[in-house]
Structure formats: structure tokens, C-alpha cells
Amino acid sequence: MKQLQGLLAFVEAASAGSLAAAADRLELTPAAVSKSLAKLEAQLGVRLLQRSTRRLALTAEGERFLDKARHALRALDEAVADVTQSATEASGRVRISVGHAMGRDWVLPLLPALSREHPGLTIELDLDNRPVDLVAEGYDIGIRGGFIEDSSLVARRICGLPLAMLASPGYLKRAGVPRTVDELRDHECVAVRFAGSTPSPWRFRSSSGGRGAKRIEIQPQPRLAVSDPAAVLDLALAGAGIVQAGLHHALPFLRSGRLKLLLVDQHDPGEREVVLHYPHRRYLAPRVRVVVDTLLARLGPPSDLHMTAQDLLAEVPDAEALAGARPAADQPALRRKTKRSASDASASKA
């Protein structure tokens, strides 16, 4: 702002009645104040002050301009004070983007207490499974499962995201409990498939163990596919077939017995993570910092988000469907719903 120094010099000189007094207030020399005032008058094309060796007097133009100049400086002071306050107090709007299941089950329940603790905050939670560009779309915080590829983002790990094989007792009573990976080919499967992608593969470890253990990968061929990880659990609960889903989303149903774990010792839960990320590390606004810190603290251990299949079985031993149950004698054979590559087929024989 070219006129700022001149405005300060003019208002202080008019208020103090002399250039020397104005210079003391501004911590400048009288010559510097005089020079700034002269530049302002040149830019405006009018004389604001009549100056003599003994006194200053406002011109008619100066009298009209003084109130407006004071108002402008007062507005600037208020703007600076507002920004300074926002740098020390948690107030203002915070926009969070999170997937449907994670947001509904884990983030949403934390917001009422967070809002009560920080009444100056306005929190907007967008539940959306699509990838988002935090900077371009104006989000302060994003929470997603997987790995964050944008190195410009600050990423904070919340928890692992172990996958599990699941089915309802009703489905297993009808179709039988698979005892091996090979038996999965005779079962119905339900999968998550996002727009423009194929369902995620199901990965297993061969039962040989040790150095000879190999990974087996099955590409599900579902009759039913959905784009929402939570909806796949709804289909599993309805007895539609076997699903692969995030363990922590299924915990309430596993504890109640409405779903059962399958092939725990053979299934590979993967290494995916749930990550909280935000665009900037330096000068992070307190409104964002307090939300980040609260989410990380309250979603940390001992939250159920950090539970593994082994932890669950220690708590609820019958959460796993034990092999041995077979389909009813009159149950027609289920058609093949999965396929494997030739290399994976050989691995399964290891």
C-alpha cells in the first residue's frame, strides 16, 4: 500500500500538532515524516497541511480527508488484530473430507464434544469416497484409507486398515464354511468396486509357512458390487455372499455374531493405513491445529480402530466361523465366482 506511510504521517501529525511529535509516536525522524507527508500530498494532488516552523494547520482538503484517513487506519488495525487473534485462538471454519464409513462411524461421533470444547469453531464434514484435492477444493483436513502420494501434504497416520474375509451365519449355513482358499471358488462373493476400477484382489498366504510360503491372489468375480465399503457389509449381513472389508467397520457385527471371520490364518490383511493429511505444516492455523490434534488423540489407542483379527478372537473366540459346516444336501452347487492367475494357482499347491 503506497499511501500507508503517508497516511500514518498525516494522521499523527494532525493529531499531535507537529512533525516532531508525530515522529516520536512513529519512531521516525521528523525528516522522514515530512518526506512521507509530502509524497502523500503529491499522490493526492492537494495540500493537506499548512506547515510553518512553529505550527501545523489543516487545509480545507485536509479536514475532509482526516476522518476518512482515520477510518482507513482503524479498519486496518482491526484487520491486523483479527488475523493476530486467529493465529492464537481456535476460531473459524474447518472443512474436513472423509470417506462415508470412516466419517460416519468414527469421526462424526467426536464432533459434538469438539464443538462444545471450542465454541469458536465451525466444522463442516463432507462424507465422500472420491479422491479430493485438498488445496483446489478448499479443504483443511482430509482422512483417507491407503497411501497419500502427494508429497506436498503433511500426512499423519491414524491406524492400520486390516482387511478381513467375512460372511453371515445364514449364508455359511446355506453354502458351507470354506476351509481353504481353493474352496472360495465355489462361493458367491460381493466386492467393492469404485467407478472406473476393478474390485480389489483378495490376497492370502499359502499354508506351507516358513520360507516356502507364497502369496495367493484371487480376483473376485462378483455378482454384486458396490462403490461404498460400508454398503458391502450391508450385503454380507443380508446373506449375499462372502466379502472382504475393513475389520474395524465390521467389529460391531462380529461382536454380535451377525458376521463371522473366515480363513483368518490364511488371509492377508494387507498393509493399508488410514491417514489424516493437511496442506501446510508452517503457520498452521489454530482452528486447524486443534482439530488435527483432537482427532489424532481420540482416534488413537486404545480405540477399536487399532484392533486386529487376533485381538478380536482373543476377546470373542467364536467370531471366526470354524471349518466343518457343509451346505445342505439339497443345496445346488454354487457357480464359480473367483479366478486366479496361473502363477497363483501353482502357489496354492505349495
Q: How far apart are CA 312 and CA 306, in angstroms?
A: 11
Selected residue with higher pLDDT from 347 and 137:
137
108-121: per-residue pLDDT in tens? 999 999 999 999 99
Average pLDDT over residues 206-224: 75
Give me the numbers of helices (H) and strands (E) for the chain, helices first please.
13, 15
272-286: per-residue pLDDT in tens? 899 999 887 666 888
Q: How far apart are CA 86 and CA 289, in angstroms?
A: 12
53-84: per-residue pLDDT in tens? 667 888 888 888 888 888 888 777 767 656 65
